[in-house]
Structures are given as structure tokens and as C-alpha cells.
Structure 1
Amino acid sequence: MSIFVIGYYTLLLAASCLAAYFNKRTWFLLVFSLTLVSFILGIVGGASMLRGVAIAAGMLALSAMVAYAFREFLIAIASNDMAKELRTAPLTAAFGMFVIFTYAIAGIFAPWIAPFGEAEVISTAFAAPDGDMLLGADQLGRDMFSRIIYGARNTVALALAGTVMAFLLGALAGLLAATTGGWFDQVLGRTSDVIMSIPSLIFALLMLSIFGGALANSTTSFWLMFGFAMVTGLLVVVAKAENNVLSWLVGLAILVGVSAAFSLGMLTIFNPSEVILILVVGVIYSPRVFRLTRAVAGNVVVMDYIEAAKLRGEGKWYLIRREILPNSTAPLIAEFGLEFCFVFLLVAGLSFLGLGIQPPTADWGSMVRENATLISFGDITPLIPAAAIALLTVAVNFVVDWMLHRSSGLKD
């Protein structure tokens, strides 16, 4: 029996006894369960299995320490009200916030963090890691580490833009449907049912096959984005103008100008194929947001203070902006996080299939597909972008779970 095995079991048993002596029941159950599991795994796999368990336990402990330190940092810089909320955040939520913060820093400062450009060829195909290339080279000789850093900017930014589009359209439609009711509510509800009846991946493949290829140019992308912005803005005009003809004319004139400027701005930030992908994602996931928003707003619109506001003569826009939306914020914010996860995985999946973000732009989904050959040779480098996708998804879910727990009103 090696010194490592003796020291490993001694450490676990000592920690279990200390936890029991100080009446730390949760820690005792956790550490002693780990001792029993390690005993079984040690018999089956020997010392190598115990080393794997020790490494995994060490990584979990390190993650917990990072989460605790980051939570205390946020508490120190936050306002009193926010600090009070952050003190209730579990370590999982703090770890999720730390991961999101790390990804944001990597995406924003990618040109300064990455040692090479995302499309810069610096070596031979599948070159091994060295002093210049931390993770080696891909199938074209580009630095994998640099492309993963740039992927944080491209993949996350595109998924975030698609989620915002879906949320703007779906939330505005849901709030207006709940406030208006009648045939307007029925039309929007049945339209969302039709879109939701089509599987998201199949719908995305269909739309991208129609608007991709030769149609993925600046003109097509501009008019598609312009149409999406007009439909979304028209919901605001309907709520704000109501039956006032002059307000309708002024609102439509402003809407045309804002939609055109917004479409040009999106084409400045993203290329035409990415704009089409954002629009496809926005159309696919907006019905989900509509259904949730309609359900939440439907519970609020029947309250007495809404009836009192109607009796005062308040319009739909006032009811949505001042009465319904403030009382629906918590579940909508949590839903935004969940929708981001779905959109993020869809974008990565489409890129893996070759229909998402197009080369030479760095994207985690396409990086897994392009370098999958290395797995046959025992190289786990292609799994790193896959792990980056999984880590961000799990981190966002950790934060969303905490927010859902807070909004539900449950007490620990």
C-alpha cells in the first residue's frame, strides 16, 4: 500500500471525525460518504482511481473557494440592498456568476487576451502544444487557445443577441395580449402554437437553408432585420397610440426610422449570415417567451389595482409599463437565463452542423467538428470547446435556479 493511499484515507477519516466532534452533520455525511465511495473505488481501480477521486474532490473544493471569495467580493462592492440579497446566494450561484464574469471578460477583451488572431495560421495542421501555442494548432494550423478566446466573443454574443430578439418580441406580444384580450390574444396565441409545434432544430435548418447561401447578403439581411424590428415596434405603437390617429402616424414615422437605424447597426456588428441566424433564433424562441409572459401577465391583469388604473382612464402602455411589468420582472429575468441556455445550445449545434457561424470566424460548435479527428488519437483538445459550452450552460442554470428560488418566495 502506497504512502498516497495511506495519507488519503487518513485525511478523510480525520476530517470525518472532526466534523462529527464539532457536530457538523452535513459535513460529516459528505466527507464520510466520500470515504466509503473511495474505499469501494480503491478496491476496484486501485491507487490510480483514488488519485482521480482526489483530483475531482480538489477541483470541487477549489471551485467552492473561488465561489465564496467572489461572493464576498460582490457583497463588498454592492449596495446595502443588493449585498443583503447576495448573502443569501448559495455557492453554486456564486460560482455561476464567476463563470459568467470570466466569459464576459474573455469576450470583451479577446483581442488583448488572445496571443494570435482568430484566423491567423501560425503552424502546421494539428501541431502539438508548445511555448507559443498553449493548446496546439487546429486542422489549418491556427492557435486553438486564441480561437477559444475569440469563440467566447462570437458564440456568446450571437446567442445573447438572439435571446434579446426573442425576448423583445415575445415579451411585448405577451404583455399586450394579456392587456388587450379578445381576438388579438387569440390570434397571437394560435400563431405561437403553430411555431412551437415545429421542432426548433428542424425549423432552424429549414429557415437557414432558405435564407442562407446566395440570399445571405447585406440587402436580404437588412430587410429581414427591418421587418423584424417593424413587427416588434408595431406592438409598442399599438399599445401606446391605441385609437389616436395622430399618435399612430407619428409612431409609425418614428418606428420606420428607428427600425432602419437598428438594422444598419446590427449589420455593422454582425455579418449578414449571422444576422439571419439571429433572426431565425429570435423567431423560434419568441413563442416560448410569449407563452410565459402571457401566463404571468394574465395573473397580474386581474388584480384590483389594475382595475383601479383602468377606472382612472390609464391606457394600455401605462398599464404595461407601470403596473404589469414591474410585478412580472422576477420570473421574466429567470426565463431570460433559461432561454439564453436554449439559444446558446442551438447556435452551437447549428455551428457543429455547419449552418451556424461560418468560417473563418471562431465558434465553439464548429471547433468541435473541425478538430474531432484528434479524439481518434487520444487527444482531448476538441473536448475543450465542448467543455466551454457545457460550463457556461451549467453556470447560467445555477444563477437562474437561485433567481427562481428567490422569486418563488420560498424560505430556506
Structure 2
Amino acid sequence: MNVFVIIYYTLLLGGSCLAAFYNKRSAFLLLFSLTLVSFILGIVGGVGALRIVAICAGLLALSAMVSYAFREFLVAIAPTNLAKELRTAPLTAGFGMFIIFTYAIAGIFAPWIAPFGEAQIISSAFAPPDETMLLGADQLGRDMFSRVIFGARNTVALALAGTVMAFLLGALAGLLAATTGGWFDQILARTSDVIMSIPSLIFALLMLSIFGGELANNTTSFVLLTIFAGVTGLLVVTAVSERSLLGWIIGLAVLAGVSTSFALGMLVIFNPSEIILVLVVAVIYSPRVFRLTRAVAGNVVVMDYIEAAKLRGERTWYLIRREILPNSTAPLVAEFGLEFCFVFLLIAGLSFLGLGIQPPTADWGSMVRENATLISFGDVTPLIPAGAIALLTVAINFVVDWMLHRSSGLKG
């Protein structure tokens, strides 16, 4: 019998017996179930199947150890209240936070981590991996590993910017609609219904077709950014000023300056085509945020302490900032994570279709499309950026699931 098979089954059975002896029921069930599964797979697939099972089990064990260590690290450095919450986080949430941290480091320090530039041609097309290129070269001879690292900065940064903008617009509109009600609430609700009735991908393709090409320039981007910031800021001015004429004059003056500064800042960070993409994504997903925020805030508005605050003469902005928002934070933070996943996948999908982030900027979606021909030759390199997309999505969902579990009040 193969030495590997003997050692493999000895470790599994020995671990199962130790878990049973020390009355570790969960560990025993896990180890003995793995033993039974391995026994069946070993009969069907032989030693090769057992090696695959062993590798998968080893990777899961390594992931669990990394998750536990990273969670304990966060507990050690976090303030007391946050540390108590983190101590109750499952290993899946710890794994998700570790992956998010890793992607953040890769994105922030991409120029220092990547051995070559994202558009630097250093070899022949589809050159195999060597001591210089860890993942080989793409269809133009650029280092795939460097482009994957830079993709963490470009793809994730655009998705984060789009999510933040969608959340600001949708959350502010939802909070204000739930607080004021009446015709204002109805106008916002019907507008969101119209936008949500159009499939996301079709709406994105339509908007990118309209504002792409020659219209994707600094002037168009500046105007669109100013309009978006103006609409978002107008919601804040409406809540703060209410019926005060002086408040409206001051608010609009401040809004004009903030909108201009925001547009100029975005033009420094992103190029015009990326700004168009971010704005399209923000418009598509802000109605989803609006509907959830309106529903959550609507449940808070009817509470007795809100009525007491109104009787005290508190204004709308005070109610939103001090009463409604603090009691709606948990589901909104969880929704932010979910919206980021949707935005991230949409941007990657648009890039795969050639309408998202444009060359030579490194992007995971376009990298899959550009190197897809390698799959027919048995090369899994194109699956690496696809795996990077999937891994981040799963990691964020792990963290979001934990946050939703906490906000629901469930224990265990």
C-alpha cells in the first residue's frame, strides 16, 4: 500500500479518536466524516483523489489558522468595546477581514509590490512563467503578476468610489423621505422605481454608449460630477435649512463650492472614462440603497422617542443625525458591503465586455477576456484574475453575513 495512504488514514483516524476521547464532538464529526469521504473517494479515484482531498483539507486548515490569528490580532489592537464584538466573530468573518486587508495592502502599495509597471512590455506574447515573471506574460508581453497587483488598485478603487457615491445619494434620500413623508417621499419613491425597473447591465450599457467615446472628456466629466454632487448636497441643504431663507442661501453657496471641489478632486484621481463608469454605477445602485434606507428609517420614525423629539421642536436634520441614523447603522453598514459586491461584479463584467476600465489600465475583468485563449491550451493563468474577483466577493459576504447576524440580535 502507498506510504502516503497509510500516513493519511493514520492521521485522520488518530485525530478522530483523540477528538472522541476528549469529548470534542464537533471535531470528531468533522474528522471522521472526512475519513469516510476519503475512503469512498479513495476507492473511486485512487491515490490521486486522496491527494486532492488532503490538499483541500490542508488549505482549509491553513485558512482557519490564519483567520484565527488575524482575528486575535484585531482583538489585541482594537478598543475594548470593539474587541468584545470581534471576539465573537466566526472564523469565516476573520478570513474575510484578512482577505480584505490583503487586497487593501496590495492596492495601496501596488507600485512598490509589483515588479514591473502595469503597461510595461517585458517579454514576448504569452511567455511562460520564469524566475522573472511569476505568472508569465499576457497577450502583449506584459507581466501578469504585476497587472494582477495593479488590478487590485484599479478595479477595487472604482468599485469603492461607485459604492460610496451610490450610498451617499441613496441613504440621504431614503432618510429624508422617511422623515418628511408626503409628496416628497412619493416623488423619490417613484423615481427609484423607474430606475430599478431597467436591468442593471442594460442601463449601464446604454449610459456608457451615450457618454462614452468623444463625450468621455474632462468637461463632460466635470459637469456630470458637479450635477451629482449638487443633487446629493441638495438633500442635505433641504434637511438642514428647511424653511429658513438665510439657511438656503448659505447652504446653496456652500454646496456650489463643495460640488466644484468634489468634481475637481475626482478628475485628479480618475480619468474621464473611469468617472463616467463610476457615475453610471452610482445612479444604478442608489435606488436600491434608497429603498432599504427608507424601509429601515421608516421603522424608526414611528418610535415614541422620535415623536418626543418632534414635540421638543427638533428639526429634521437633528432627527436624521442624532435619532434615526444611529439606530439604522447596522443594517446600512451590512448593505454597504452587499452593494460593494454588486458594484464590483458589474464593473468587472463591463470590463470583460470591453466597456469598463479601458486599456492599458490593468483590470481583472478585461484581463480575463484578453487572455481567455490560454484556457484552450490548458493554461489556467486567465482564471487567476477571475479567482481574485471571486475571492474578494466571498470575503466581503463572509463579513456581511456576520454583521447581519449581529444586527438581527440572534445569538450563537
Using structure 1 for the length normalisation, give the TM-score.
0.99
Q: Tell whether 2:399 aligns with 1:399.
A: yes
Q: Judge which range, 4-13 or 315-324, deviates more.
A: 4-13
CA distance in 2 between partners of 1:321 and 1:77 (Å): 29
Alpha-carbon distance, 1:311 to partner = 0.9
Matched residue, 1:139: 139
Q: After superposition, where does 1:8-407 map in structure 2 within 5 Å?
A: 8-407=8-407
Alpha-carbon distance, 1:66 to partner = 0.4
RMSD: 0.6
CA distance in 1 between partners of 2:171 and 2:158 (Å): 20
CA distance in 1 between partners of 2:329 and 2:201 (Å): 29
Superimposed CA distance per residue, residues 186-223 of structure 1 (whole angstroms, 9 cap, x where no aligned partner): 11111111111111111111110111111111100110
* Letter of the 1:196 counterpart: M
Alpha-carbon distance, 1:83 to partner = 1.0
Superimposed CA distance per residue, residues 240-275 of structure 1 (whole angstroms, 9 cap, x where no aligned partner): 111111111111111111101100100100000000
Secondary structure of 1:379's counterpart equals coil
Alpha-carbon distance, 1:398 to partner = 0.4
CA distance in 2 between partners of 1:185 and 1:18 (Å): 62
Structure 2 stretches of 5 or more lacking a match? none
Structure 1 stretches of 5 or more lacking a match? none
CA distance in 2 between partners of 1:13 and 1:128 (Å): 42
CA distance in 1 between partners of 2:44 and 2:195 (Å): 51
CA distance in 2 between partners of 1:62 and 1:243 (Å): 60
CA distance in 2 between partners of 1:248 and 1:76 (Å): 47
Alpha-carbon distance, 1:303 to partner = 0.8
Alpha-carbon distance, 1:18 to partner = 1.0
CA distance in 1 between partners of 2:64 and 2:12 (Å): 18
Secondary structure of 2:72's counterpart equals helix
Alpha-carbon distance, 1:10 to partner = 1.3
Secondary structure of 1:117's counterpart equals coil
Q: After TM superposition, which residue ranges in structure 1, 4 or more long, deviate above 6 angstroms?
A: none
> What percent identity do the matched residue pairs reach?
84
Superimposed CA distance per residue, residues 140-172 of structure 1 (whole angstroms, 9 cap, x where no aligned partner): 000000000000000000000000010000000
Superimposed CA distance per residue, residues 112-152 of structure 1 (whole angstroms, 9 cap, x where no aligned partner): 00000000000000001111100000000000000000000
* Letter of the 2:98 counterpart: F
Alpha-carbon distance, 1:48 to partner = 0.5
CA distance in 1 between partners of 2:19 and 2:200 (Å): 49
Q: How many residues align?
A: 412
Using structure 2 for the length normalisation, give the TM-score.
0.99
CA distance in 2 between partners of 1:355 and 1:313 (Å): 51
* Letter of the 1:62 counterpart: L
* Letter of the 1:361 counterpart: T
